[in-house]
Structure 1
Amino acid sequence: MADADPKAGCPVHGGEMKIRSLLGRQNKDWWPDALPVDMLHQHGVSPDPMGEDFDYAEAFKKLDYAALKADLTTLMTDSKSWWPADYGHYGPFMIRMAWHAAGTYRVTDGRGGAGSGQQRFEPLNSWPDNGNLDKARRLLWPIKQKYGQSISWADLFILAGNVAIESMGGPVFGFGGGRRDVYQSEGDTFWGAEEIWVDQGAQTRITEEQVELEGPLAAIQMGLIYVNPEGPGGDPDPLKSARDMKATFLRMAMNSEETVALTAGGHAFGKAHGAKPGETFGKAPAGEAIHQQGFGWLTDADEIGKGHITTSGIEGSWSNNPTQWGGDYFRLLFKYDYELVESPAGAKQWQPINPDREDMAPDARDPNKRVPTMMTTADMALKMDPEFRAISERFRDDQAALDDAFARAWFKLTHRDMGPKSLYLGPEVPEETLIWQDPVPAGAAPSDADVLAFKSAVLSSGLTVSQLVKTAWASASTYRKSDKRGGANGARIALAPQKDWDVNEPAELATVLAKLNELRGSMSLADAIVLAGSAAVEKAAKDGGFDVTVPFTGGRGDATQDWTDVESFHWMEPQADGFRNYLKTRQPVKTEELLLDKASLLGLSGPEMTVLVGGLRVLGANHKGIPKGVFTHRKGALTNDFFVNLFDIDTFWDLADTASDEEFIGYTRGERTEKWRATRTDLIFGSNSQLRATAEVYAERGHEEKFVRDFVKAWVKVMNADRFDLA
C-alpha cells in the first residue's frame, strides 16, 4: 500500500497556507437557479416525510425479502425501450449505481457512503462520474413503489447491486439492511474547493508538488468517485494512475489487495460508454429543463435505444463475457499487449493488439457483432505497477482467491458506513464478524450499589475533576454520526492508536486509566471511564452550587487490541478539538470552523455545542491544562463563568502576536492589564452573532442552573452517542 501518512497535516502550496471554507463549493454555487427548497426546513423543521416516529427497522422486518430479490432478478433482464440494457442485462448498470452510492465513503471523517441514499440529491446526483445513473434509479422506481416503506432507497441501491452480481454468477458475501433514507442533501460534506468539474478540465489533487490529498478528501478530482480512468488529469500514465489509486482507496479504508479485487471485479461486468462526443448530450439533472423530470445527460430522442450513449467517454467492455463472472478480465489483461487509442468520444483508452476473435466482445446492441475489448489507464495500472501486478497475477492464477477477495471487498465497500454489526438487518447478514466492523464484546451493566461505590471511590482517589472529565470526553467524543464509528463503548482509548494520540495526553491518560482499572472491579473499563467523568461533573456542579445527578446507563463492553483496526483508527486522530482547545497544526480552514465540524460529527446542535464548550473550559478540560479560554477563578466548578466573563464589557481583546491570529489577550479597558488569554474557538462565541445570541442566554443572571442542567444533558448525549441499544 502507498506510504501515505494518515495523520498528515494541512497542505501547504509554495510555502503559503491557503485558507478555504470548511464546506467548499456548495450546491447553490454550482446551480444558482435551483429551487431553494431548504428554506422550508429552517428552525429545526425536518424534511423527513416519514416523521421522527417512523421505525425503519420494524418496517424492514415486514419486508417479503425473497419476493423483493425475485423482482430485482427479473428486472435485470427486462430491457426497456427508453433505456435499453447493454447485452440485454441491467446487472452491470446496477453494480455501477451501487458502487458509486457507496464509493463516496471516506475513512477520514466517515462522510459519504451509501448509508442515507445521498446519490438521489445534489451534488452527487449530477456529478460527472455519476452520469446516467439517474436512469438506473428510475428503473428501480416500480420496485420501490411496490415495497414502499419496507425498503429504503439506500438499502435498495445496495441490494440491487448484490442481486446484479448474483444474477451474473458472481460471488456475494452477504447483505445487511438498515440504511434509513434522508430527504435532502447532506450539506456538511466538503467535496473539494475546485471551481470546475473533472469533465471541464479539473486537475488531479495529487501532483509532484502536492503529494497528499487535502484534508478529508478521498477522490482525485472534483466530481469523481475514485480516480480519472484516463489517468491523472487525463494523462494516460499507468504508474501515476496506480499512485492515485493507492492514495484514494487508502482514504476509503481499502488496502492494495482490496483495491485490485474491486477494480477487477467491477470491470468483469458491463462496458464503458463513449459512442459519441460528450457535447452531443445535454446537461446534468440539476441543470436540465423542468419537463425532463429529473433526467439528465440526454441525447437526441431519435438516438435513444440505438446505443449512442456517452457517459465516461471511454467506449467498450473489459471482457469478452461482460455479463458473466469469471477470470476473463485478468486473462485478457495479461494475454495481450495494449496500445493507446482514442474512443469515438475522444477519450484515451487502451486496446489489445491483434486480439483473437473469441476474445472480442459482443456489441452491446447486436450480439452477432464482435468488437474489441478495452482497458482504461486505471486498468493498465494493475499490470504496470509492481505491487498491483503481483496481486493481479495471483488472482489470475487463483480464481477462488479472486472470488473471495472480491466478495469481501464488495461487502466492505457497501457496508463500511453502517456502524456496528448489531444494526444490520435481514436474512443475509453474514455470521462472520470482520475487524473493520469495530466489534465490541457485550458488556454487563453494574448494579446500583456498584455504581455508588465506584463513584465514591473515584472521587476520593486523588484524580482531579479535570483528569476525569478529560478522559471521559476523550473516549466518548471520538464518536461520529457519519459512519457510527468511535465512541466510549469498547474503551478503545486504552488501546493503540488512541492511547498514543497527542490530543489525549498519553502520559496523564495512562495514569488515569491505571487508577480506574484499580478501582473498577468487575465493571467494564468503558463504563468506568464514563461513570468517573459523570461523577466528576456532579462534583463540579455541587461545587458551583447545584445538586444534580448525571444519568448513567451501564452495559458497555471492552474491545481488544487484536480486534481493533489500528490503521483505519489512525485516520480518526483529531487534528483539532475545539472542545479541548486543541490544535495540532494550523489547518487550511479557520479553527472555529473545525469546532463546528467536530460538533456536527457528534450530532450536536448549536446550543449543545455552546454549553459544552463553556462547561468544559471551566472544568479544566483544555489540552495540557492551557489557560486559554478558562475565564474563571473557580476552575473545577461547573459555572457559567466562561460566558459571563467573555461578555464583560470592561474587557477588550487584542492579538497576542501580530504574526498569528490564533491567540488573543483580554485586557481591562483603560488600564491594559491582562485578564485572560483566548483562542479563536473561545472568541467566536462573542464574534459570531448567532453563537453570541445563544451564549448570551447562558450568561444571563438567573440562568446559572439552566446552564448546569443543559450542560449535563449535552454531556450525557455525547457519552451515550454510540449506545444504539438505547435508541
Structure 2
Amino acid sequence: MTEATGKCPFHQQGGHSSATDSNTNWWPNALNLDILSQHDKKTNPMDPDFDYAKAFNSLDLEAVKQDLRELINSSQDWWPSDWGSYIGMFVRTAWHLAGSYRKQDGRGGANTGNQRFAPLNSWPDNVNTDKGRRLLWPIKRKYGNKISWGDLIILAGTVAYEEAGLKTFGFGGGRKDIWHPEKDIYWGEEREWLAPTENRYENDQDRKSLENPLAAVQMGLIYVNPEGVDGKPDPLRTAQDMRVTFDRMGMNDEETVALTAGGHTIGKAHGNGKAELLGADVESADVEFQGLGWHNPEGTGNAGNTMVSGLEGAWTTHPTKWDNEYFYLLFTYDWALTKSPAGANQWEPTNIKEEDKPVDAHNPNVRRNPMMTDADMALKMDPEYREIAERFYKDPEYFAEVFARAWYKLTHRDMGPKSRYLGVDVPNEDLIWQDPIPSVNYVLSEAEIDELKAKLLNSGLTSGELINTAWDSARTFRGSDYRGGANGARIRLAPQKDWVGNEPERLAKVLVKLEEIQAGLEKKVSIADLIVLGGTAAVEKAAQAAGVDIKVPFLPGRGDATQEQTDAYSFEDFEPKADGFRNWLKDDYVVQPEEMLLDRAQLLGLTAPEMTVLVGGMRVLGTNYAGAKEGVFTDQEGVLSNDFFVNLTDMKYNWKPAGKNRYQIVDRATGAAKWTATRVDLVFGSNSILRSYAEVYAQDDNKEKFVKDFVAAWTKVMNADRFDVK
C-alpha cells in the first residue's frame, strides 16, 4: 500500500469510523441511553404529517395482490425461481420477518420491517431473504408510501400460500417501517454466529433454562437448528428445543406442528454447494454488491447452485401446492440420516417410489429425493407431536384450518389489538391473542368528569393508592407488540391481580372501593376509566398543592375485559421483575436496576427526559412500592414539587453506600443521615446525560415546567394503549 493510499484521513482510520460507539468502547459499563432514542424522528425521511393509516386505506389492495400473483408465478434472470414459482421464497421471507417475535418482551416480529437492517438482515438463518426483498422492490416502488415493507412482505407470504391453494385466514395492514437498526434489542451475548447453545442456557441439559427473553436457540437463528441441537441430529432433543422456542413465540404444541408442517409443505431447502465459499453477509458485503449478501462464486451462484441453509431438497412431491403430502411422506417412509452436498445433516427416505420424488427445481427431467430436517423428524418421534401430526394427516381440512390460523397469528401477533389492523381483508372474528376489550358507548362531559374526580378523591383512598393503582395498570403496556396497558382493566383479573409487584392487598382494597363507586353511578363508567381517572385526579391535586393550577387530561372510553377474554398464560410474561418508577426490585439480577428501568421506559415509549421527570415526580408523590422511603428526597411528600432534583443535585449532601443497592444521603455539615436512596435514584445524578436533565428540573425557574412535563409524561403512559383515538 502506498503512502497516499495507506493513510486514512482524520477519524476514518482502519476503514471505518473509530468514533462509532466510542463512548461505549472507552466506558463499557456506562449506562447506555440509546435505547430511549432508538427511533428518533431525525432518522425518518417521511414528512412530519405523514399518516400511514390514511395512505394504506387509499391503497387498491386487490391490485397489489394481483401484482404479487404475477411476480410469484414468474422467474427473474438474476435470481431464478424454483419450479417457476417464488412461493417458497416469499413464504420464507415473510416467515423469517415475523419469526423473530418473542412473547417475553414483545420485541422482534414483522411490525417494523426490521429485517432490512442489521443484525437481522445478516443473520445466518436469513440467508437470501435479501433476494426476496429485492424481488419485491418493483412492487414497493410502484405503490410507494401506501404500503410499508413490513406489510408488503407479510402480504407477499400470505398471497403465496393462496397461490399454492391454501384458504388463508386473512390479512391486516398497519405495520409502520423503521428507518435504522434496532441495535439495542438484546438478541444474546454471543459474539459469533451459531455459537454453541450452552452459551444461552443456565443448564444445557435443561432446554427450558433458555435465557430470558430469548426464544431462538443460537445466535443468528429464528427458531431451532435444522440439523439438530448444536448441529447434532437428535429429533427427540430437537423436539425439546421446538417446544420451548415456539412457546416463547406464543405458540402451543398444535400450532407448532401446524407451522412446521405447513411451512415445509411448500418450497425447498438449498444446499447445493460449499457454504465456506459464500461471500460476506449483507452488512459486510462491499459496495459493488449493492446490499446483497452471501455471493456464491460457484456456477451461476443461483438456481441449481443456490446456497441457503446448507440442507438440500424439497419436503414434498409437489412443493408449489398446498396438500397433505408432507405427512404422507413423513409417515409412509422410513428416513435415514444423510449429508447434503454442502455437508449438512439431513434425513432422506429409504426405498421411496420414483413417483413420490419431487422433480428437480430447475430440470423437469430429473427427480430428487425429498428430505426432512431434524425438526421434521421430531414431529414423527416425539409422542405428543406425533399424535397431533397423525390427526392432521387423517384430517387435511382440519390441518389447513389450524395452519391458516397459526400463520395469521405468526404474522400478526406483534400488531396488538385488532383495532390497529387496516384493510378489507381483516377477519371479523375476535381472537384471544389479540386481547379483545368490550367497547363502551358512554360519553362523559367535563362536569361529569369533575364530579367523578371528587368522588374518587373523597372515597377514603389515599392519593398514593389511587396513583399506584393507575400506574400499575398502565405500566404493562409494551410498545414492542402493542399489548398491555390500562385499557381493559386486566389488573383486576388473573394473573395480574396476584402479581407481587401490584401489591395484591392494596390493589384489592382499591378495586373494592372503585366497584362501590361504580355501583352508585347513574351512568355506568368502566373500572378501567375509574382506575385511570383516580390516578389522574390525585396527580392534579398534588400539582395544585405545589402551587401549579393544571388540568391533567383525561380521555374516557376504556372497556373492562373479562377473564374469558384474557389469555392469562401469555400475560404471565408481563409480570414486572422490577419497576424503577416505583423504586422496586423483586430479586437480585445480573443486570443493574437502572438498566431494568431503561428497559421498562423503552417499552412504554418514553424518552430519556420523560423517564427522568416521571421518576422524580413519582418519588415526591410517595408512590414507592410498599411505602418505602428510598429516593423520597422531600419534606413535603405527596406534593408534586421538584424537590427530588433539587436535593439530588445539592452539594451540601454526601452520598454513601449503606448495603446492597442502598445508599445514605448525608448532610456534610452535621454528618446526619438525611435520606436513603437506591441506584435508580442516584443514577440521575451520576450519569452525565441524566444529570443534565435533572439539573433542568432542579432549576428555580423550572418548577412549573417540571409539573407540566410530569403531567404530559403521565398522560402519555395512561393513554399509550388508546389506539381507538390515535
What band does the TM-score fall into relative to the shorter chain?
A: over 0.9
The answer on 1:376 being equivalent to 2:373 is: yes
- Structure 1 residue 385 corresponds to structure 2 residue 387: no
2:571 to 562, 569, 572: 569
Root mean square deviation of aligned Cα: 2.0
- For residues 290 and 257 of structure 1, do their structure 2 counterparts lie closer, same or farther at Cα, with a shift above 3 Å needed? same
Asked whether 1:468 is paired with 2:466, we answer: yes
- What do the CA deviations read for 1:234-293 (whole angstroms, capped 9, x no partner)? 121111111111111111111111111000000001111111120121110111110110
Q: Which of 66, 77, 98 is the matching residue for 1:81?
A: 77
Distance 1:639 1:201 in 2: 52
CA contact (8 A) 1:317 1:373 kept: yes
**Is 1:263 matched with 2:263?**
no
In 2, Cα distance between equivalents of 1:697 and 1:211: 47
User: Which among 229, 232, 236 is matched to residue 229 of structure 2?
Assistant: 232
Task: Tell me whether 1:170 sits opposite 2:166 in the alignment.
Answer: yes
Contact map agreement 1:82 1:304 (CA 8 A) in 2:
no
CA distance 1:693–1:683, change in 2 (3 Å):
same
Rate the CA distance shift 1:285–1:36 in 2: closer, same or farther, 3 A: farther
CA distance in 2, matches of 1:183, 1:70: 28
Consecutive unaligned residues of structure 2, counting only runs of 5 or more, are 1-13, 23-33
- Rounded Cα–Cα distance in structure 1 between residues aligned with 2:282 and 2:567: 39
Alignment partner of 1:394 out of 391, 394, 399 = 391
Partner of 1:516: 514
**1:645-703 Cα shifts (integer Å, max 9, x gaps):** 1122122222212xx3x222222225442221111111100110000010011111122
Asked which structure has the greater RCO (Cα within 8 Å, sep 6+), the reply is 1
Aligned to 2:622: 620
Query: Aligned residue for 1:13?
Result: none
- How high is the TM-score relative to the length of structure 2? 0.93
Conservation of the 8 A alpha-carbon contact between 2:357 and 2:370:
yes
CA-CA distance at 1:347 after TM superposition? 0.8
User: CA contact under 8 A between 1:83 and 1:304: conserved in structure 2?
Assistant: no
Distance 1:148 1:45, change over 3 A: closer
Distance 1:95 1:683, change over 3 A: same
The aligned residue for residue 90 of structure 1 is 86
Q: State the match for 1:152 in structure 2.
A: 148
Distance 1:510 1:234, change over 3 A: same
C-alpha spacing 1:225/1:458, structure 2 compared with 1 (3 Å): same
Q: 1:180 to 1:209 in 2, by over 3 A?
A: closer
In structure 2, do the counterparts of structure 1 residues 700 and 58 end up closer, same or farther at CA, with 3 Å as the change threshold? same
| Matched position secondary structure for 1:86 | coil
Distance (whole Å) between structure 1 residues aligned to residue 157 and residue 206 of structure 2: 39
Partner of residue 18, structure 1: none
- Relative to structure 1, the CA distance from residue 154 to residue 572 in structure 2 (aligned partners, 3 Å threshold; closer, same or farther) is same
Deviations 1:69-101 (A, max 9, x none): 111001112111211111111001100000001
- Give yes or no for the alignment of 1:646 onto 2:644: no
Query: Given residue 205 of structure 1, which amino acid in structure 2 is its aligned partner?
Result: R
Inter-partner Cα distance in structure 2 for 1:317 and 1:584: 49
Mean Cα deviation higher: 697-706 or 680-689: 697-706
Q: What is the CA–CA distance in structure 1 between the aligned matches of 2:466 and 2:184, rounded to whole Å?
A: 32
- Residue 456 of structure 2 is matched in structure 1 by 458
Residue 400 of structure 1 aligns to a residue in which SS? helix
Conserved in 2, the CA contact under 8 Å of 1:203 and 1:221? no
Following the alignment from structure 2 to structure 1, what is the Cα–Cα distance between the partners of residues 142 and 648?
57
> Which amino acid in 1 is paired with 2:402?
A
Deviations 1:196-232 (A, max 9, x none): 101x666573412674222211111100111111111
Of 481, 493, 501, the residue aligned with 1:483 is 481
- C-alpha distance 234-44 of structure 1, shift in aligned 2 (>3 A): closer
* Structure 1 residues 429 and 230: CA distance shift in structure 2, 3 A: same
| Alignment-derived partner of residue 6 in structure 2 | none
- In structure 2, give the amino acid aligned to 1:638: L
Deviation at 1:461, TM superposition (A): 1.4
Question: Following the alignment from structure 1 to structure 2, what is the Cα–Cα distance between the partners of residues 275 and 43?
Answer: 40
Cα distance in 2 for residues equivalent to 1:168 and 1:112: 27
Among candidates 420, 424, 427, match of residue 427 of structure 1 = 424
Say if 1:196 and 1:202, in contact at 8 Å, map to a contact too.
no
Partner in structure 2 of residue 186 of structure 1? 182
| Contact kept? 1:204, 1:232, Cα under 8 Å | no
The answer to whether 1:272 aligns with 2:261 is no
State how far apart, in whole Å, the 2-side matches of 1:324 and 1:398 are: 17
Q: Aligned pair count? A: 693
Letter in 1 for 2:628: I
Give 1:448's match in structure 2, choosing from 446, 449, 463: 446
Q: Quick one: which of 61, 64, 85 aligns to 1:65?
A: 61
CA shift for structure 1 position 546: 2.1
Say if 1:345 and 1:177 are closer, same or farther in 2 by CA, change over 3 A.
same
Mapped partners of 1:215, 1:695: distance in 2:
32
**1:56 matched to which residue of 2?**
52
Of 202, 211, 217, the residue aligned with 1:214 is 211
Q: Structure 1 residue 35: deviation in Å?
A: 11
Post-superposition Cα deviations, 1:364-393, rounded to whole Å, max 9, x if no partner, equal 111221111111111111111111111111
Change (3 A) 1:126 1:476: same
Residues 534-613 of structure 1 correspond to what in structure 2 (within 5 A)? 534-613=536-615
Query: Contact 1:445/1:556 (CA < 8 Å) preserved in 2?
Result: no
Name the counterpart of 1:289: 286
Structure-2 change in CA distance of 1:44 and 1:349 (3 Å): closer
- The separation in 1 between residues aligned to 2:239 and 2:38, in whole angstroms, is 45
Per-residue deviation, residues 411-455 of structure 1 (Å, max 9, x unmatched): 000001111111111111101110100011112332333212211
Q: 2:136 aligns with which of 118, 122, 140?
A: 140
- The one-character-per-residue Cα deviations of 1:118-177 (angstroms, maximum 9, x if unpaired) are 111111111100001111111111111111111111100000001100101123100001
User: Do the aligned partners of residues 305 and 225 (structure 1) sit closer, same or farther apart at CA in structure 2, a change above 3 Å counting?
Assistant: closer
Q: Distance in 2 between matches of 1:412 and 1:164?
A: 17
- Contact in 2 for aligned 1:202/1:221 (Cα 8 Å): yes
Please tell me whether the aligned partners of residues 203 and 233 of structure 1 are also in contact (alpha carbons under 8 angstroms).
Answer: no
**What is residue 682 of structure 1 aligned with on the other side?**
681
Letter paired with 2:506:
E
2:29 counterpart residue number: none
Counterpart CA distance in 2 for 1:638 and 1:510 is: 26
User: Counterparts of 1:411 and 1:37 in 2: how far apart (Å)?
Assistant: 40
For residues 40 and 168 of structure 2, what CA distance do their matches in structure 1 show? Answer: 41
Structure 1 residue 487, shift from structure 2 partner: 1.0
Please, which moves more after superposition, 665-674 or 401-410?
665-674
Equivalent residue, structure 2, for 1:326 = 323
- Kindly tell me: are residues 566 and 35 of structure 1, through their superposed partners in 2, closer, same or farther at Cα, counting changes over 3 Å? farther
Aligned partners of 1:61, 1:37: CA distance in 2, in Å? 40
Cα 1:558–1:701, aligned 2, differ >3 Å: closer, same or farther? same
Q: Which moved more, 1:250-259 or 1:52-61?
A: 52-61
Instruction: Describe the SS at the equivalent of 2:436.
Output: coil
Paired position in structure 2 for 1:502: 500
Unaligned 5+ segments in structure 1 are 1-30
How far does residue 705 in structure 1 lie from its aligned partner after superposition?
Answer: 1.4
Aligned residue for 2:575, secondary structure, equals coil
Specify the code of the residue in structure 1 equivalent to 2:663.
Answer: F
Q: 400, 404, 408: which is aligned to 1:407? A: 404
Kept in 1, the 8 Å contact 2:104–2:574? The answer is yes
2:200 equivalent to 1:205: yes
AA of the residue aligned to 1:116: T
CA distance in 2, matches of 1:347, 1:310: 11
